[in-house]
């Protein structure tokens, strides 16, 4: 009698079956849930067909394990665009525009089905429309240099945001802001503005010089007026002193002419001074004169 053994003889079958079941459950269990990261929304397809349901961030359970998942970033993003914008003066001005936008979560399935990804939305819809809007808005500007006016820039930003919102929002993109980042004028206009600025600076410098000269002249005039007033005051003082001296002399002459005693007193004082002179040796006096001054009456007849 011949003994035959099974290939799996000696191998415990039940543990292998249990491990297989666990692995199958684990694989199925992983496909039964989906975690959507923060800032994203999930869209699914089943055999190429886009499901109309969008899945917000968080744990999604249970889900069909046969679904294919596509994630869309719904965080705020920014796009920078440069374009040459014509104005009514037929000049081309380069504008740099920044667009801040965000995907509308409920439109994610439609975007996937109609356009593709968010990058496709930018390339196919937003950028061409933005360039068109920039050119259309530029045609409302009279002159290229008007782009530097604050009122003009505010109007352009408001109008471009309104036009883009009307066009792109039904497709699933929300335009949050349109910002003018930079403006590069045509070389001809830039040179003219620079020349004008230099001329204005030269004019301001000349005004400052004239103002300084005027101030200096005013200071000289003030000093001259002060000196004139001082000279006038000094002249008045001199006149007052002269008048006082004249009055003194007049009063003295009047006193001499009307008062004989004053003459006698002066004669005595003169004699005192003569007596002190060592060179005076002989004096001639008229003893009969009522005013015996030396030599005073020498010519008088006796």
Nearest to residue 110, comparing CAs of 176, 60, 173, 64? 173
Percentage, residues of the chain above pLDDT 90: 45
pLDDT-derived band at 4 (thresholds 50, 70, 90) equals very low
Phi and psi of 95, rounded to 5°? -115, 140
- Write out pLDDT tens, residues 233-288: 888 888 888 888 888 787 777 766 666 666 667 667 776 777 776 665 555 555 55
71: confidence class by pLDDT, cuts 50, 70, 90: very high
The β-bridge relationship of strands 34-36 and 40-46 is: unpaired
Angle between helices 187-258 and 260-275 (to 10 degrees): 100
What ranges do the domains of the chain cover?
22-73, 77-190, 203-280
Two structure tokens written together for 63: 């889900």
Q: Which residue has the higher pLDDT, 124 or 260?
A: 124
Look at the block and give the residue holding tokens 């004028």: 185
Q: How far apart are CA 124 and CA 105, in angstroms?
A: 19
Please report, in angstroms and rounded to a whole number, the separation of the first and last CA atoms in the chain.
Answer: 216
Q: Where is pLDDT greater, at 56 or 234?
A: 56
- The answer to whether residue 120 scores a pLDDT higher than 90 is yes
Q: Which two tokens stand for residue 143?
A: 């002159």
Q: Which of 22, 96, 31, 115 is nearest to 65 (CA)?
A: 31
Residue predicted with more confidence, 116 or 3? 116
What's the CATH code, domain 77-190?
3.30.479.30
């Amino acid at each position: 009698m011949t003994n035959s053994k099974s290939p799996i003889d000696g191998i415990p079958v039940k543990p292998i079956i249990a491990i297989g079941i666990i692995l199958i459950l684990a694989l199925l269990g992983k496909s039964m849930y989906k975690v959507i990261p923060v800032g994203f929304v999930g869209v699914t397809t089943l055999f190429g067909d886009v499901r109309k349901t969008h899945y917000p961030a968080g744990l999604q359970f249970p889900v069909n394990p046969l679904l294919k998942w596509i994630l869309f970033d719904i965080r705020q993003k920014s796009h920078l665009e440069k374009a040459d914008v014509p104005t009514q003066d037929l000049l081309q001005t380069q504008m740099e525009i920044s667009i801040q936008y965000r995907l509308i979560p409920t439109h994610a399935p439609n975007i996937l089905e109609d356009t593709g990804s968010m990058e496709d939305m930018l390339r196919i819809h937003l950028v061409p429309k933005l360039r068109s809007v920039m050119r259309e808005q530029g045609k409302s500007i009279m002159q290229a240099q008007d782009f530097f006016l604050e009122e003009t820039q505010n109007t352009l930003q408001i109008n471009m945001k309104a036009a883009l919102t009307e066009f792109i929002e039904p497709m699933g993109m929300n335009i949050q802001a349109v910002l003018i980042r930079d403006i590069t004028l045509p070389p001809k206009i830039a040179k003219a503005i620079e020349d004008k600025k230099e001329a204005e600076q030269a004019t301001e410098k000349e005004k400052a010089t004239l103002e300084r000269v005027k101030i200096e002249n005013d200071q000289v005039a003030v000093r001259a007026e002060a000196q004139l007033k001082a000279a006038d005051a000094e002249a008045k003082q001199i006149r007052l002193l002269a008048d006082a001296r004249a009055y003194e002399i007049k009063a003295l002459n009047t006193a001499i002419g009307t008062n004989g005693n004053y003459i006698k007193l002066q004669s005595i004082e003169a004699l005192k001074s003569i007596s002190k002179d060592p060179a005076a040796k002989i004096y001639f006096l008229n003893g009969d004169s009522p005013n015996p001054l030396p030599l005073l009456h020498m010519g008088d007849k006796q």
